[in-house]
């Protein structure tokens, strides 16, 4: 099967741990120098821009991520996580679950896409939830 549930490990575990510790340098150590982040349809490219985003929106707003489900999808890692923090929660559900799509190369995050997915009526043909 192309998508399987896995334990949280490696650089993705390091990243989540650093986010929850509000440690900017440790978060940045998980990214490749030329990585990009897409945070809810906003593209952030390169280490300097990612650092500013981390400082302001992740650490600055005390964002925490509690992994709910971790999937391997053809070598990429999908973490569904319960988000909390001091950010504006207007219009968001009480329990905010975001999907984090990590592409990893040479034990560094080369891309991270963070999406608030809506419930879908569609499933894979085998009955499993969509990643």
End-to-end CA distance of the chain: 13
Residues 6+ apart with CB under 8 A from 21: none
Domain coverage including residue 102: 3-115
Work out how many domains the chain is built from and give that number. Answer: 1
Average pLDDT over residues 3-13: 93
User: For 61, phi and psi rounded to 5 degrees?
Assistant: -105, 15
User: Per residue in 58-73, pLDDT tens?
Assistant: 999 999 999 999 999 9
User: Per residue in 93-131, pLDDT tens?
Assistant: 999 999 999 999 999 999 999 999 876 777 555 555 555
User: For 40, phi and psi rounded to 5 degrees?
Assistant: 50, 55
CA distance 110 to 49: 14
Residue 36 has a pLDDT of 96
CATH of the domain at 61: 3.10.450.50
């Amino acid at each position: 099967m192309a998508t399987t549930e896995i334990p949280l490990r490696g650089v993705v575990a390091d990243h989540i741990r650093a986010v929850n510790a509000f440690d900017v340098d440790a978060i940045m150590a998980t990214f490749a120098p030329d990585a990009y982040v897409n945070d809810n349809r906003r593209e952030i490219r390169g280490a300097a821009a990612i650092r500013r985003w981390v400082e302001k929106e992740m650490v600055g707003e005390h964002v925490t991520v509690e992994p709910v489900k971790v999937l391997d999808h053809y070598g990429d890692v999908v973490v569904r996580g319960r988000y909390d923090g001091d950010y504006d929660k207007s219009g968001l559900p009480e329990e905010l679950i975001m999907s984090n799509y990590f592409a990893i190369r040479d034990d560094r995050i080369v891309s991270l896409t963070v999406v608030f997915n809506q419930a879908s009526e569609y499933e894979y043909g085998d009955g499993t939830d969509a990643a």
